[in-house]
Amino acid sequence: MLQKLILLSVLAFMNYANAQDKAEQALQNFEQKYPQEKIHLLLNKSNYIAGENIWFKSFVFEGYNRSSVSTNLFVELYDRNKTQISKAIFPLYNGEGNGSLSLPETLKEDVYYIRAYTTWMANFSEDFQWIQPIEVYNPASPEKLISDTTSPWSVTVFPESGTFVHGINTQFAVRLQSNGITPSDWSGYVIDSANPDIKIVSFKGFDQNVGSFNLTPESGKKYQLIVQDNKGIKQNIDLPFVSASGLNLQVKSKTNAITYSIQSKNTPHSSYKVLGTINNQLVYKARISNLSNEKTYTIPTDKLVNGILQLTVFDDKEQVIATRLCFVQPQLLNIKQPSIQNVSLSDIPHETNTFTIAKDPNYSNYSVVVLDEESQSTETEKSLLSTLWLTGDITSKIYSPAQYFGKNHNTEALDALLISEKWKRFDWNTLISGSFPAIRYTPESYLSYKGKVSGPSAGSSALNLISKTDQENGTKLYQIPTDDSGIFTFNNLIFEGTMKFFYQLSGKQKTSNATNVYVQPSYTFIPYKSNLPATNFKLAARTPNEPLPVEVAKAVKSKAFEKSISEKINTIEEIRLTGQKKDDKRKLNQQLSSSLFKSISEDIFDFVNDKNTLVAGSNILQFLEGRVANFQMRMSNGSLTPFLREAPVPVFLNEMKIDPSQITNISVADVAMIKVIKDHFIGAGPGGGRQAIAIYTHQGGEAKLSDEELKQLPGLKSITLNGYSKEAVFNNAVYDNASLKDTGKDTRTNLYWNPYLEVKSDTPTTVRFYNNDDAKGYKILIIGFDENDTPLYYYETKP
């Protein structure tokens, strides 16, 4: 979590009047009531063929931590005309989720757009929603995609902190923009319009986004910037008017501290307030009197985190004078790295490749992708790190933002980029005026429905909803109260596809045939109002018999190969796709535990199917010692208390919280299952919890329906509810059956995809995948988060 740093003085701190504290009060209100979510989607590859599936892993953050605000992710697919092609909804667990979208076979070759958002995000600017352009190829289309290298580019200049004052040496950021691709090789120089043949200062662009230069201006002079690319194309732009008075804020971000200085000319104010914010949180506050041009002020970074710091200077009337964005410790990014061991990679077609991730008790799962070395991941251009630390809060178009947080990243270029930007999450003047976002949408609790019971005695009764499905969870009874008008809500459902619910009123009215139930979802897909962004591609006519680009030709063959594999698998009875076999333990977990007590990381002990595991007379909690990593029973406050990962862990009996001392009253013979939850789950109450021990008896969680009631089910009225969208199965086990190794030309680029690779804390984690026909090297991507939400990020090429 972000740690707060409040410095109450730099020179001489003075108490402010209430009116002068408006900024701090408004910011605190905004931070507490309006948490800011942002999304990153990891796709299984960077481009697709019509008819393929798009697989994705979603990460939803609140600031720099995984979000607990939203439990549903909405994903939509649009064409360039903003016509919606498909939409889907997927669950989020502790800010993470995964799913897939199917591309129709009939899609024309073009750029399409994936939109992802949460209901809570819809209360704020659409600019913060995830919009991902993707290239979809279709050789049958009359038009083809080509890179847009002909669209004109434009240039804009930004003086540091927004001011350009006579006699003050000022740093400028020079920013390039284009609807197509900006030039990679460009330079510029500054002239005085009165002496155009003399170059006052020259510079070379850092990258395709930004360059920088310094200039000490003189009043009365008019300066011009000339920028030229490697094709000789020039752009001229006037620098801002040189002011005879004003204030300039200059900032340097170093490893141990952020330093800043404030220089002024002929300003009427005697004192200033400086506020520093990270992720809408106040982390620095100072009062400066008797301003001196020689003084440099220091903000230690030891209590801050990586992220964008906004420094704002206010005058004594609490008016914004200057602002500046900088990145905290860009030279020292807090990114953890996995230890990759036992690497066994081959370039022989169809061979098995393996590597292991060393055991680490701080992680419960990883997202892992392996690509052919010659292919590209979407992470190459827009990485999780760049979303987390930059583009999730900065909405302007940035070419390849991942470069600012990769290996050998240019910290000088990142700083110049931030000089050219403003903080987009809030505006100080708007906050101080008391204007806050209007909240129209509240987060749902997973799948939620609202309904009404009509008919005699419908009000103030209990409605029995009975689910009966072919899925694992079998038959369950939900008893839901209704108000005087027969209105009810039905929350916290997690299921895929559709589910039928039979209904009846409880008590005397339950057999009434005059009762009807009407239900509608509480969640809704929210229309997208903004324009879709421009892309780096355009369409051109495809000529007859034109050869396909190499990458597209490989993708077409890969699609045919995967179809052939799928057809063969369906004819071989003994082949079972990885992860699809449902064992007795999993069935028991589905039967006994509700959606509120499901977690992405849990250890399950099954005493129904393995009757010899828990012996008579043993203590239920002590049984877990030695079987669950980092679990211990300790004396605490005079009683024996369970600890998991060095913290007391709550105990639930049939999903009701109990004191651990009550466990001794439970008969061992009554225990059906013990589940040790190691990651976020909803059942702990508001906000959920991170870990728990859930004990289930043979009656706990089972549907309490009599034989007679079960016989009545076909005769009861029913409703059908829509659940989450189903995720397509990704086949990592391509050649588990040796007879499949002779199936056509294998040109797959995505060799392994696992958005949730479960980790055992006491053993290494093995990744196993099969080679295609051509790969000589592999790109390996691993993403994870520890309990403090510190990102683990590994993106390397292995020969």
Instruction: Give tens-digit pLDDT for 275-298.
Output: 999 999 999 999 988 776 668 899
Tokens of 785: 């988060």
User: Which homologous superfamily is 594-697 in?
Assistant: TonB-dependent receptor, plug domain (2.170.130.10)
Report the percentage of the chain scoring pLDDT > 70.
Answer: 89
In the 3-class helix/strand/coil scheme, how is 302-339 assigned residue by residue? CCCCCCEEEEEEECCCCCEEEEEEEECCCCCCCCECCC
Mean pLDDT score, 170-197: 95
The domain locations on the chain are: 447-522+706-722, 594-697
Helix (H, G, I), strand (E, B) or coil at 796: strand
| Maximum average pLDDT range among 169-178, 539-548, 754-763 | 169-178
Mean pLDDT score, 381-404: 96
Please give the pLDDT value at position 740: 84
Mean pLDDT score, 725-753: 88
Q: Is the pLDDT reported for residue 605 higher than 50?
A: yes
Tokens of 688: 């959920």
Please give the pLDDT value at position 24: 94
Contact 341, 764 (CB under 8 A): yes
What confidence tier does 6 reach under pLDDT thresholds 50, 70, 90? very low
What confidence tier does 460 reach under pLDDT thresholds 50, 70, 90? low
**231 DSSP assignment:** T
Least confident range of 31-45, 94-108, 351-365, 731-745: 731-745
Q: Which residue has the higher pLDDT, 552 or 626?
A: 552
- Mean pLDDT value across the chain: 86
Q: Rounded to an integer, what is the distance from CA 60 to the centroid of its chain?
A: 3
Mean pLDDT score, 701-725: 66
Interatomic CA distance for residues 766 and 51, integer angstroms: 32
Q: Is the pLDDT reported for residue 672 higher than 90?
A: no
Q: Is the pLDDT reported for residue 185 higher than 60?
A: yes
Tokens of 255: 């490893």
Least confident range of 223-227, 282-286, 677-681: 677-681
Q: Say which residues have a Cβ less than 8 Å from residue 65's Cβ, sequence separation at least 6.
A: 1, 2, 95, 789
List, edge to edge, every strand of the sheet that includes 365-372. 750-758, 365-372, 778-785, 791-798
Interatomic CA distance for residues 718 and 465, integer angstroms: 9
Please give the pLDDT value at position 13: 36
Q: Which helix (H) or strand (E) holds 414?
A: helix 411-419
Return the biggest CA–CA distance within the chain. Answer: 99
Please give the pLDDT value at position 583: 64
Which is nearest to 593 in space by CA: 689, 694, 679, 687? Answer: 694
Report the percentage of the chain scoring pLDDT > 90.
Answer: 56
290 torsion bin: left (phi>0), alpha (psi -120 to 50), beta (else): left
Least confident range of 159-163, 271-275, 633-637, 719-723: 633-637
Least confident range of 183-192, 554-563, 564-573: 564-573
Helix (H, G, I), strand (E, B) or coil at 589: helix
Q: Is the pLDDT reported for residue 613 higher than 80?
A: no
Please give the pLDDT value at position 615: 57
Q: Is the pLDDT reported for residue 493 higher than 90?
A: no
Q: Give per-residue pLDDT as tens, 527-546.
A: 999 999 999 999 999 998 88
* The domain over range 447-522+706-722 is classified in CATH as 1.10.287: no
Mean pLDDT score, 453-474: 66
Q: Say which residues have a Cβ less than 8 Å from residue 17's Cβ, sequence separation at least 6.
A: none
Q: Is the pLDDT reported for residue 574 higher than 50?
A: no
Q: Give per-residue pLDDT as tens, 119-159.
A: 999 999 999 999 999 999 999 999 999 999 889 999 999 99
Q: Is the pLDDT reported for residue 724 higher than 50?
A: yes
Contact 68, 60 (CB under 8 A): no
Q: Which residue has the higher pLDDT, 690 or 724?
A: 724
Interatomic CA distance for residues 406 and 612, integer angstroms: 52
Interatomic CA distance for residues 493 and 504, integer angstroms: 19
Q: Which residue has the higher pLDDT, 435 or 607?
A: 435
What confidence tier does 686 reach under pLDDT thresholds 50, 70, 90? low
Q: Which residue has the higher pLDDT, 259 or 643?
A: 259
Mean pLDDT score, 448-461: 77
What confidence tier does 633 reach under pLDDT thresholds 50, 70, 90? confident
Please give the pLDDT value at position 254: 92
